[in-house]
Amino acid sequence: MSLLFDEIALAAARLAEAGVESPRAEAELIAAHVHGVRRTELTTVPDSAFDARFWEGIGRRAAREPLQHITGLAYFRYLELEVGPGVFVPRPETEVMTGWAIDRLREMDVAEPVVIDLGTGSGAIALAIAQEVPRARVHAIEGDPIARGWTERNIARCAAAAPYTAGRVTLHADDFTAPPAGLDGLAGHFDLVISNPPYIPVGASVPPEVGEYDPPAALWSGADGLDAIRAVERVARRLLRPGGMVPSSTARRRARPSTGSSPRRPAGATRATTRTWPGVTVSSRRRGPAIGRTDDENGMAPGWGRWTTG
């Protein structure tokens, strides 16, 4: 056993006491970050190279600062993104929704799909689509100047790593709850509107990694957690072409999400319901005991759903 692995074992115990869900894995990831190696290369770090800054990182994580803020990086599908204070850390479940959207875009009989990401934050969704649907043109909307700074860095980072994405994501400084200024000419022409908006009811209990570090504007969404979803629906009605689609993330339950560096919502069987508004059919995936009721009747909201214009 090397000195570094002795220290990792002690650090994992400290993180476990602090309530971190994956203490050993996160201790190793912090060690890899501090020592400038991959996690699989930790065995190559000699005792003489042990860096005491490892314990600074462990102290921050024990205080429930997100792992991604400590390393400065978040991983989303095939992307490595820069993240930190002032921007929402992308979640694993959003990768699932984004994968669904990418599959649908590839299936469309459209040479150059036009996409808009409402409330882009780090740019994760917009950049994943640009990377995986090479002819797509993506408009990314972000009203917060701090978050927008992270988006700009990630657009440049992605273009450097994958030059074919350069110029295919256009960032707009707009509030996602209203039709973006300057895009009036594209109203009714978007193939896909996508969003991971705030979806937590005001007053709900959340883990420290969420409540103390994610931007409040990216979390809270009215008394029932659906204010932003309603805004996305309104904007999508104006932007989508006939047959266009809208996948959007929401909380699956109006309750406290689980703790950890990448908070996930409660486990359970996934079931499907449909609801119809005038001119818009919504097919959503949700979790709950009853089929044949709306999500509102069950006191729940969709895990993520898709709107398809008729």
Tokens standing for residue 80:
């490595």
Mean residue pLDDT of the chain comes to 82
**Residues 207-231, mean pLDDT to the nearest whole number:** 91
190-195, strands of its sheet edge to edge: 169-172, 137-141, 114-118, 190-195, 240-249, 304-309, 280-287, 270-277
Cα-Cα end-to-end distance for the chain:
63
Question: Which residues, other chains included, contact 279 with Cβ-Cβ below 8 Å and sequence gap of 6+?
Answer: 237, 309, 310
Phi-psi category of residue 99: left, alpha or beta, with phi > 0 → left and psi -120 to 50 → alpha:
alpha
pLDDT tens digit string along 232-289?
Answer: 999 999 999 998 999 877 655 433 333 344 433 333 322 222 222 233 333 333 322 2
Superfamily assignment of 73-309 in CATH?
Vaccinia Virus protein VP39 (3.40.50.150)
Contact 136, 168 (CB under 8 A): yes
Indicate the range of 2-11, 16-25, 245-254 predicted with least confidence: 245-254
Question: Three-state SS for 282?
Answer: strand
Mean pLDDT score, 190-208: 92
Task: Give the pLDDT of residue 287.
Answer: 29
Least confident of 141-150, 152-161, 173-182, 191-200: 173-182
State the pLDDT at residue 183: 85
What ranges do the domains of the chain cover?
3-63, 73-309
The mean pLDDT of 123-139, rounded to a whole number, is: 95
Max CA distance (Å), the chain: 68
CB atoms within 10 A of CB 135: 12
Go through the chain and tell me how many residues it has: 310
- One-letter amino acid for residue 170 of the chain: T
DSSP string, 159-213: HHH-GGGTTSEEEE-S-TTSPPTT-GGGTT-EEEEEE----BPTT----HHHHTT
- pLDDT confidence band for 296 (50 / 70 / 90): very low
- How far is residue 277's CA from residue 274's CA, in Å, rounded to a whole number? 10
Q: Rounded to two decimals, what is the model's pTM?
A: 0.79
- pLDDT exceeds cutoff 90 at 77: yes
What count of other Cβ atoms lies within 10 Å of the Cβ of residue 198?
24
Token pair of 49, please?
């190279």
CA 293 to chain centre: 28
Residue 31 confidence (pLDDT) above 80: yes
- 142 three-class SS: coil
Across 109-118, b (16+ Cβ under 10 Å) vs e yields: eeeebbbbbb
Residue 284 and residue 295 in contact, taking contact as beta carbons nearer than 8 Å: yes
Q: What number is the average pLDDT over the span 168-178?
A: 91
Tell me phi and psi for residue 174, to 5 degrees.
-140, 160
